[in-house]
Structure 1
Amino acid sequence: MSTPSKTSRPPRPPSARLEAGGGPGPLAVHPKVFRDELAAAAEWVAGYLGQITERPVARPIPSAHRQDLAAGVLPQEGQDLEALLDFVDRAIAPYPTGNGHPAFFAWINSPPSPAGVIAELLATAINATCGMGEHALMDLERGVVRELASLAGMAVTTGGVLTSGGSMANLLCLGAARTWFLRCHDATDGPAYDRTHARLTAYHSDQAHMSVAKAAAVIGLPPWRLRTVPTTSDQRMDVEALQAMVEADRARGLLPFCVVSNLGSTAGGAVDPIEAITRVCRSQGLWHHGDGAWGGLGALVPELAPLYQGVADLDSLTVDPHKTLSVPVGCGAALVTDPARLRDAFAFRASYLDGDQDWPWMSDYTIELTRPGTRALTLWATLRQLGRSGVTDLLQHYQDLARYLRGRVQQHPTMELCNEGPLPVVCFRLADGPGTGLPDTRADLHTAVAARVQARGHAYLATVCHNGETVLRACLCNYLTTTADVDTLLQEVQSAVDHLRTA
Structure 2
Amino acid sequence: MHRSQHSIEGPLAVEPDDFRRELVRTAHWVADYLEAMPESPVTRPLPDQHRRRLSASPLRDGGQALPEFLDFIKTDVAPYPGGNGHPAFFAWITTPPAPIGILAHLVGATLNASCGYGENALVDLERGAVRALADLAGLPQGTGGVLTSGGSMANLLCLAAARTWFLASRDATDGVAHDDIHARLVCYQSTETHMSVTKAARTIGLPPSRIRHVPVTADLRMDPGRLRAAVEADLVAGLLPFCVVSNLGTVGTGAIDPLPEITRVCREHGLWHHGDGAYGGLGSAHPDLAPHYEGVAELDSLTVDPHKVLNVPIACGAALVTDAGRLRAAFSTRASYLDGNDEWPWLSESTLELTRPGGRALSVWAILHQLGRDGVRDLLEHYLSHARLLRELIRERPDLELITDGPWAITCFRYSPSSFDGDLDVLTTRIARELQDGGKTFLATVRVHGTLTLRASVCGHRTTKADVETLVAEVTRIGERLTAH
- What TM-score bracket applies, with the shorter chain setting the length? over 0.9
Query: What letter corresponds to residue 180 of structure 1 in structure 2?
Result: W
CA–CA distance in 2 between the matches of 1:293 and 1:458? 28
CA–CA distance in 1 between the matches of 2:207 and 2:383? 38
Identical columns (%): 58
Aligned residues of 1:454 and 1:461 also touching (Cα < 8 A): yes
Could you tell me which runs of 5 or more consecutive residues in structure 1 were left unpaired when the two chains were aligned: 1-21
Query: What letter corresponds to residue 164 of structure 1 in structure 2?
Result: S
Shift of 1:501: 3.0
The equivalent of 1:17 in structure 2 is: none
Shift of 1:24: 1.6
Q: 1:213 is paired with a residue of what secondary structure?
A: helix
Kindly indicate whether residue 444 of structure 2 is the aligned counterpart of residue 459 of structure 1.
no
CA–CA distance in 2 between the matches of 1:299 and 1:357? 33
Shift of 1:353: 1.0
Which stretch shows the higher mean deviation, 482-491 or 424-433? 424-433
Shift of 1:79: 1.1
CA–CA distance in 2 between the matches of 1:447 and 1:385? 40
Shift of 1:499: 2.7
The equivalent of 2:3 in structure 1 is: none
Aligned residues of 1:162 and 1:332 also touching (Cα < 8 A): yes
CA–CA distance in 1 between the matches of 2:409 and 2:151? 18
CA–CA distance in 1 between the matches of 2:211 and 2:139? 26
Shift of 1:357: 1.8
Q: 2:308 is paired with a residue of what secondary structure?
A: helix
Kindly indicate whether residue 398 of structure 2 is the aligned counterpart of residue 413 of structure 1.
yes
The equivalent of 2:389 in structure 1 is: 404
The equivalent of 1:235 in structure 2 is: 220
Aligned residues of 1:432 and 1:441 also touching (Cα < 8 A): no
Q: 2:466 aligns with which of 484, 487, 492?
A: 484
CA–CA distance in 1 between the matches of 2:106 and 2:205? 38
CA–CA distance in 1 between the matches of 2:366 and 2:138? 21
Kindly indicate whether residue 450 of structure 2 is the aligned counterpart of residue 468 of structure 1.
yes
CA–CA distance in 2 between the matches of 1:129 and 1:99? 28
The equivalent of 1:445 in structure 2 is: 427
Query: What letter corresponds to residue 151 of structure 1 in structure 2?
Result: L
Q: 2:333 is paired with a residue of what secondary structure?
A: coil
The equivalent of 1:388 in structure 2 is: 373
Kindly indicate whether residue 347 of structure 2 is the aligned counterpart of residue 362 of structure 1.
yes
CA–CA distance in 1 between the matches of 2:94 and 2:474? 20
Shift of 1:86: 0.4
Q: 1:168 is paired with a residue of what secondary structure?
A: helix
Aligned residues of 1:209 and 1:265 also touching (Cα < 8 A): yes
Kindly indicate whether residue 303 of structure 2 is the aligned counterpart of residue 321 of structure 1.
no
CA–CA distance in 2 between the matches of 1:130 and 1:143? 13
The equivalent of 1:7 in structure 2 is: none
CA–CA distance in 2 between the matches of 1:357 and 1:347? 11
Q: 1:289 aligns with which of 274, 297, 305?
A: 274
Aligned residues of 1:173 and 1:289 also touching (Cα < 8 A): yes
Task: Spell out, residue by residue over 1:136-161, the C-alpha distance to the aligned partner (whole angstroms, 9 max, x if none).
Answer: 10011001100000000101110100
Shift of 1:502: 4.8
Query: What letter corresponds to residue 89 of structure 2 in structure 1?
Result: F
CA–CA distance in 1 between the matches of 2:71 and 2:308? 30
CA–CA distance in 1 between the matches of 2:398 and 2:203? 48
Q: 1:104 is paired with a residue of what secondary structure?
A: coil
CA–CA distance in 2 between the matches of 1:380 and 1:349? 28
Query: What letter corresponds to residue 282 of structure 2 in structure 1?
Result: L
The equivalent of 1:215 in structure 2 is: 200
Task: Spell out, residue by residue over 1:104-145, the C-alpha distance to the aligned partner (whole angstroms, 9 max, x if none).
Answer: 101111100011010100000000111111111001100110
Shift of 1:369: 0.5
CA–CA distance in 2 between the matches of 1:96 and 1:272? 34
The equivalent of 1:427 in structure 2 is: 412
The equivalent of 1:80 in structure 2 is: 65
The equivalent of 1:46 in structure 2 is: 31
Query: What letter corresponds to residue 141 of structure 2 in structure 1?
Result: V
Q: Please report the TM-score for the alignment, with normalisation by the length of structure 2.
A: 0.97
CA–CA distance in 1 between the matches of 2:136 and 2:179? 40
Shift of 1:23: 6.5
CA–CA distance in 2 between the matches of 1:179 and 1:421? 36
Query: What letter corresponds to residue 262 of structure 1 in structure 2?
Result: N
CA–CA distance in 2 between the matches of 1:229 and 1:409? 32
Q: 1:106 aligns with which of 81, 87, 91?
A: 91
Q: 1:29 aligns with which of 6, 11, 14?
A: 14
Q: 2:404 is paired with a residue of what secondary structure?
A: coil
CA–CA distance in 2 between the matches of 1:144 and 1:50? 29
Task: Spell out, residue by residue over 1:215-253, the C-alpha distance to the aligned partner (whole angstroms, 9 max, x if none).
Answer: 011000011101000000000110011011001001100
CA–CA distance in 2 between the matches of 1:90 and 1:385? 34
CA–CA distance in 2 between the matches of 1:481 and 1:420? 19
Aligned residues of 2:415 and 2:476 also touching (Cα < 8 A): no
CA–CA distance in 2 between the matches of 1:351 and 1:419? 56
Could you tell me which runs of 5 or more consecutive residues in structure 2 were left unpaired when the two chains were aligned: 1-6
Aligned residues of 1:416 and 1:429 also touching (Cα < 8 A): yes
The equivalent of 1:55 in structure 2 is: 40
Alignment of 1:195-344 (within 5 A): 195-344=180-329
Aligned residues of 1:432 and 1:442 also touching (Cα < 8 A): no
Aligned residues of 2:145 and 2:320 also touching (Cα < 8 A): yes
CA–CA distance in 1 between the matches of 2:417 and 2:371? 44
CA–CA distance in 1 between the matches of 2:63 and 2:438? 39
The equivalent of 1:495 in structure 2 is: 477
Query: What letter corresponds to residue 353 of structure 1 in structure 2?
Result: L
Shift of 1:378: 0.4
- C-alpha spacing 1:179/1:474, structure 2 compared with 1 (3 Å): same
